Amino acid sequence: MMATILWAAVGVPAKEQELVFIWNKATPEAKIIIIVLGIFSIFAWSIMAAKAIQMRRAKRLNRIFEEEFRGQKNVLEIYDRRVQVDGCPLFTVYVEGCGELAGRQKAQMTRGLTRSLSLKAMEHVKRALERSVAEESLKLESGLILLAIAVSGAPFLGLLGTVWGVMSTFSNVAMQNQADLLTMAPGVAAALITTVAGLLVAIPSMFGYNWLVHNLRVLTVELDNFAQELVSKMEIEYLSDND
């Protein structure tokens, strides 16, 4: 209602859409900022959708792999079957750890030793698992920095456009020596639209970022717990009692 009264006061035809009118009255700088914010929004929504699908798939595959892992009799049983599971963080950590374990065993057997590993060799396996956990966490985290930039940067871009537009409006008022609603309202409205655009980018990005970070932390904790469990089983089965 207030918007209708305002446009009527400044002589805008009722049939003309408000957003179209504001866009036409916006300064070139404000239009550039709105276009940049639109590109930010496309990237932000694309990242949120892609990361949500990735994390949902990772959770589902992790549950399936955990059931299979706990059902095996030997810690290397799944590894020896040479199966491939793309997009499963737990499986990737498992393969890295088992690969390091198998490599150490092969090196010892080449020297005529048993399959049991020394404490030093088991430490190398632990480091391989820690490295794999860190790499998988980074993969899950990739792209979130762009959302963080959208959350923190979009409102400031919008504010920049608003301040610039208001500055231009008052400059025009000063040059025309006429300070009335007809002169100021279109410029101020066009200036404020950049702030609205910035908030429309930042608010969904903020909710999406927080949700993704929460899920990332859950997955990272699951990776750490699984790595510790895997090391424990490896030590029980393959750690030499002589060390």
- Global model pTM greater than 0.85: no
Structural domain includes residue 170: yes
Q: How far is CA 27 from CA 122, 160, 161, 162, 188, in A?
A: 66, 12, 9, 10, 11
Q: Is residue 1 part of a domain?
A: no
Burial 60-89 (b: 16+ CB within 10 A, else e): ebbeebbeebeeeeebbebbeeeeebeebb
- In contact, 87 and 57? CB cutoff 8 Å: yes
* Residue 6 covered by a domain: no
3-state helix, strand, coil in the chain (%, to 5): 80, 0, 15
pLDDT band at 21 (very low <50, low <70, confident <90, very high): low
The mean pLDDT of 123-150, rounded to a whole number, is 91
Mean pLDDT across the chain: 82
Give the separation between CA 113 and CA 146, rounded to whole angstroms.
Answer: 52
Q: Tell me, yes or no, whether 35 lies in a domain.
A: yes
Residue 10 included in any domain: no
Does residue 41 sit within a domain? yes
More confident residue, 14 or 43: 43
**Residue 13 lies inside a defined structural domain of this protein:** no
What pLDDT is recorded for position 3?
Answer: 45
Instruction: Find the mean pLDDT for residues 190-196.
Output: 83
The answer to whether 25 touches 186, Cβ cutoff 8 Å, is yes
Q: Which domain holds residue 144?
A: 18-238
In this prediction, residues 184-202 reach a mean pLDDT of 82
**Residue 222 pLDDT level (bands cut at 50, 70, 90):** very high
Span of 9-18, 43-52, 195-204, 231-240 with lowest mean pLDDT: 9-18
Q: What is the DSSP letter of 139?
A: H
Report residue 239: phi and psi, to 5°. -75, 130
Question: How many structural domains comprise the chain?
Answer: 1
With beta carbons less than 8 A apart as the criterion, state whether 221 and 59 touch: no
Contact indicator for 187, 57 with CB cutoff of 8 Å = no
Whether 243 is covered by a domain: the verdict is: no
